[in-house]
Amino acid sequence: MTSIPEAKAPADEVVLEAIGLTKHFPVRRQLRDLFSNRHDAVHAVDDVNLTLRRGQVVALVGESGSGKSTVARLLAQLYPRTGGDIRLHGVSTKVKSGSAFRQYCARVQMIFQDPFASLNPVHTIRYHLERSLQIHGNAGDDLETALHELLERVSLTPPERYLDKFPHELSGGQRQRVAIARALGAQPEALLADEPVSMLDVSIRLGVLNLLRDLKERLNLAILYITHDIASARYFADQTMVMYAGRMVEGGDSETVTQSPAHPYTRLLIESAPDPDRLAGASEAAGEERGNGEPPSLIHPPTGCRFHPRCPVAMPRCSTDLPVPLEIGDVPGHWAACWLYDKAEVAS
Ligand SMILES: Nc1ncnc2c1ncn2[C@@H]1O[C@H](COP(=O)(O)OP(=O)(O)O)[C@@H](O)[C@H]1O
Ligand SMILES: [Mg+2]
């Protein structure tokens, strides 16, 4: 490989951090609001902390509408943030457009759920990959070799079979591999993968996740893996963070979070995905339809713990006091934002 060097940076090095990251989308004002002083907003993401390290996958899990994509788009600098910070290698970073944005994109690349929508139907695979290599100055001396290497990286071989095809001539899994190859053309340090397999055929999801894992290891990439399927997080991610209604509710190493979930919401997610080993079969709806009740309004989110209206073990203070992250048991790094784990509560 000449154009895509193997990773040199140490594993575990922090690439990207979100600190108190917050995004409120203003709601279009209604006529009646003109006569009042209302400034409603969708509280899509509130006070999110997240650390992406080289050579590690962090899963961000939650049902639809919990704010996962907004976190990814904020980290990709596609939206301005309402509050908090994004640090790239420890440096606070806010970019909007132009060369600063391009430089940021070269280091942090996004992969979207729908590879068909993210590839341009009128252009060949060659065009997509060439553009990525050229924009980021990674074409090297021999463009053709660089293109071949990109396709080989994502196991689309022999490359010449794919280069001059159009997106519609490929399967969904092959298109997602092209989207991944295009992201690699930037030689990024971090990949933000927003439900990268949930639109793919069940039978090929594992193959694409295995490819991402292989890239993580060989290129020492930091990966954010967004999913509503907690079973796949256990399989694929080193760390798992659970998000509910715009807030992080639990985090820790994936094995612990999925095998000994602490937060009642995480437990609900796991119960609604009955077989944790059944990665391939986790259906779109399974985790979302069951469970008692509906996700809350994010315009007027519940006070205290946002999960309290649905929580089977809610206590009086849960409706008034915002829970802080509390350490769970003796597994280092395992925490839940839940008053059940307040020492004072446990003692009384
Ligand atoms: N551009 C936007 N304008 C207004 N509200 C938005 C926008 N994008 C997302 N939202 C709202 O923010 C919340 C979180 O959305 P999203 O991040 O897409 O969740 P997820 O990816 O977990 O399904 C939802 O209530 C959604 O309707
Ligand atoms: Mg989403």
Tens of pLDDT, residue by residue over 216-257, are 999 999 999 999 999 999 999 999 999 999 999 999 999 999
Looking at residue 36, its pLDDT comes to: 59
pLDDT at 98 over 90: no
Residue of minimum CA distance from atom 7 in ligand 1: 25
What are the pLDDT digits (tens) for 313-324? 999 999 999 999
pLDDT at 264 over 50: yes
Please give the number of the atom of ligand 1 that sits closest to the Cα of 246.
14
pLDDT digits (tens, 9 = 90+) for 18-28: 999 999 999 87
Backbone angles phi, psi at 64, to 5 degrees: -65, 140
Position 39 pLDDT exceeds 90: no
Please say whether the beta carbons of 173 and 184 come within 8 A.
no
The residue that leads in pLDDT, 251 or 283, is 251
How confident is the model over 115-146, as pLDDT tens digits? 888 899 999 999 999 999 999 999 989 999 99
Atom of ligand 1 nearest to the CA of 25: 4
Model confidence at 2, pLDDT cuts 50, 70, 90, reads very low
pTM: 0.91
What span, in angstroms and rounded, lies between the C-alpha atoms of 80 and 85? 11
DSSP 247-284: EEEEEEEHHHHHHS--SHHHHHHHHTS--TT-TTT--T
Class for the domain spanning 14-25+42-274+294-347: alpha beta
Å from CA of 158 to ligand 2 middle: 33
Cα–chain center distance at 29: 31
Shortest-distance atom of ligand 1 to CA 194? 21
CB half-sphere exposure, 60, CA atoms < 13 A: 32
Q: What one-character-per-residue DSSP string does 191-241 give?
A: EEEESTTTTS-HHHHHHHHHHHHHHHHHHT-EEEEEES-HHHHHHH-SEEE
List the residue whose alpha carbon is closest to atom 24 of ligand 1.
65
Ligand nearest to the CA of 66: 1
Locate the domains of the chain by residue range: 14-25+42-274+294-347
Rounded to an integer, what distance in angstroms lies between the CA atom of residue 287 and that of residue 304? 24
- Tell me what pLDDT residue 344 has: 73
CB of 134 closer than 6 angstroms to any ligand 1 atom: no
